Amino acid sequence: MTRIGFDKFEDFYARRTGGMRSSVMRDLMAVIAMPDVITLAGGLPNTESFPAKTLAKVTQQIAMNCSAAALQYGPTEGFQETKENIVKVMAEESTVADPDDIIVTTGGQQGIDLVTRILVDPGDIIIAEAPTYPGAIPSFCSFEADVVQVPLDDDGIRTDLLTAEIERLKKESRKPKFIYLIPNFHNPAGVCLSLERRLEIVALAKKHGLIILEDNPYGQLRFEGESLPTLYSLDDSENVIYVSTFSKIISPGIRLGWMVAPPALLAKFNMGKQAADLCPSTLAQMIVNQYFQDFRWQDYVEEVIKVYRSRRDAMLAALEEYFPEEASWTHPQGGFYIWVTLPEYLDTVDLLALAIEEHKVAFVPGSGAWVDGTGANHMRLSFSAVSEDRIEEGIKRIAKVIREQMELYRALQGS
Ligand SMILES: Cc1ncc(COP(=O)(O)O)c(C=O)c1O
């Protein structure tokens, strides 16, 4: 972002912009683009794996056969064919959805934004995991939500603490507008919500009449272990809004995602979407639909899973070899991310500055995953878009920065 000095527009901004936050990941996009920096920061799918010939074939078909329709506006909720393909994608995770309950969105990100736009008034409570997806925070803050973060562990959000929080709010006659969860290969923590806790959360929502926003961009990217049922599939009381995306199974460049919700909510989301951008990209939908028609989309997912698994292994091995024993990290069974915990006295924002400037390597500092900026001794490392040898080199460099800072701290303590 460009640096802004005196801002002559200061008096024009709406009050709510005061709480607006930029996502730490978006801020790092400029660094990600620097060719000499090894970036383990971006949650970027490995688009290099997607066969150029496939894209060429698909787009050519569209250009030759339905160019006018592809360049035209479309329905706000998306094409029927897109929704039917989404139903197929969800079925892969044993989740049954009705095309009529689906809205095609501009990425999963828009789903999060629409839910917040439609449900949250200033001061309303959203419960999220601690840490949570850094990209959700700008949406929550834009609508002036009061975000309460509940810690997670290796089995996902701590349901004992979640239950206690709901009970506490109830005593104050307050209720969260929704509970935002990323049950599979969490961004940034890399963990999965256990089956036991999934069942508990769905039961909790039923008991208290709560809405869960299930965000599942990574569910299809499992390298090992048993697939777990979505919260949406476990719920029998219309308490779950489901959001997902084509970003990680095809490409984020096509900017297509979806949301599934009960009809009353869906009608409101539709109006919110009309206000935001009229309709999802028709051209992008046609690309997806043609691709689903001519190719087995699961084949590509199987291909990229192999790439991601090998990179995950390379990162775990490098962490084991180079990171100090005071550090610990998660061992994801899928997705893009490893979450590292460092000694409390280290601040990963400071480390990042040194890492970029002196060692040409980047990661996401943990504090971006908390609304109040705590979590400074954590970092998110992404293995998805970097080759194995660059991963090893990147981890080696980060380890060097960490060790230098640890030594400095010890020296200062000693003195
Ligand atoms: C947890 C989570 N939700 C939503 C998104 C948004 O994805 P998109 O808008 O590309 O579908 C991402 C992207 O990284 C994510 O990690």
User: Which among 137, 187, 218, 251 is the best mutation to test ligand 1's pocket, defined by most ligand atoms within 8 Å of the CB?
Assistant: 187
Distance from Cα 108 to the centre of ligand 1, integer Å: 5
Ligand 1 centroid–CA 327 distance in Å is 27
Residue 413: pLDDT above 90?
Answer: no
pTM over 0.85: yes
pLDDT at 1 over 60: no
Please identify, by atom number, the ligand 1 atom nearest to the C-alpha of residue 43: 14
Query: How far, in Å, from the CA of 111 to the mean position of ligand 1?
Result: 10
Q: For position 34, what pLDDT does the model report?
A: 76
Question: Among 392, 331, 337, which Cα is nearest to 366's?
Answer: 337
- Banded model confidence at residue 270, pLDDT cuts 50, 70, 90: very high
- What is the number of the ligand 1 atom nearest to the C-alpha of 133? 1
Gap from CA of 218 to ligand 1 centroid (Å): 9
**Number of the ligand 1 atom closest to the C-alpha atom of 245:** 11
**Where do the CATH 3.90.1150.10 domains begin and end in the chain?**
10-50+299-414
Euclidean distance between the first and final Cα of the chain, in Å? 39
Mean pLDDT over residues 368-378, rounded?
93
Ligand 1 centroid–CA 25 distance in Å is 11
Separation of CA 109 and ligand 1 centre (Å): 6
Q: What's the pLDDT score for residue 210?
A: 97
Q: Taking CB atoms and a 6 Å cutoff, what residues make up the pocket around ligand 1? A: 43, 107-109, 133, 135, 182, 187, 215, 217, 245, 247, 252, 257
For the segment 154-164, the average pLDDT, to the nearest whole number, is 98
pLDDT band at 2 (very low <50, low <70, confident <90, very high): low
Q: Residue with structure tokens 């769905």?
A: 202
With beta carbons less than 8 A apart as the criterion, state whether 35 and 141 touch. Answer: no
| Predicted confidence (pLDDT) per residue in 42-52, tens digit | 889 999 999 99
CATH architecture of the domain 10-50+299-414 equals Alpha-Beta Complex (3.90)
pLDDT tens digit string along 291-349?
999 999 999 999 999 999 999 999 999 999 999 999 999 999 999 999 999 999 999 99
**Helix (H), strand (E), coil (C) string for the chain:** CCCCCCCCCHHHCCHHHHHCCCCHHHHCHHHHCCCCCEECCCCCCCHHHCCHHHHHHHHHHHHHHHHHHHCCCCCCCCCHHHHHHHHHHHHCCCCCCCHHHEEEECHHHHHHHHHHHHHCCCCCEEEEEECCCCCCHHHHHHCCCEEEEEEEECCEECHHHHHHHHHHHHHCCCCCCEEEECCCCCCCCCCCCCHHHHHHHHHHHHHHCCCEEEECCCCCCECCCCCCCCHHHHCCCCCEEEEEECCCCCCHHHCCEEEECCHHHHHHHHHHHHHHHCCCCHHHHHHHHHHHHHCCHHHHHHHHHHHHHHHHHHHHHHHHHHCCCCCEECCCCECCEEEEECCCCCCHHHHHHHHHHHHCEECEEHHHHCCCCCCCCEEEEECCCCCHHHHHHHHHHHHHHHHHHHHHHHHHHHC
Please name which of 166, 306, 181, 292 lies closest in space to residue 232, comparing C-alpha atoms: 181
Mean of pLDDT values over 158-186: 97
pLDDT in tens, 325-336: 999 999 999 999
Question: For the stretch 154-181, what's the b/e string if a residue is b when 16 or more beta carbons lie within 10 angstroms of its beta carbon?
Answer: eebbbbeebbebbeebeeeeeebbbbbb
Tell me which residue of 250, 381, 251, 391 sits closest to 311, measured CA to CA: 391
Among candidate residues 308, 282, 330, the one with its CA nearest the CA of residue 388: 308
Q: Is the predicted pLDDT of residue 132 greater than 60, yes or no?
A: yes
Tens of pLDDT, residues 52-95: 999 999 999 999 999 999 999 999 999 999 999 999 999 999 99
Query: Average per-residue pLDDT in the chain?
Result: 94
Q: Which CATH class is domain 52-294?
A: alpha beta
d(CA 291, CA 297): 7
Residue 19: per-residue pLDDT: 79
Domain ranges in the chain with CATH number 3.40.640.10: 52-294
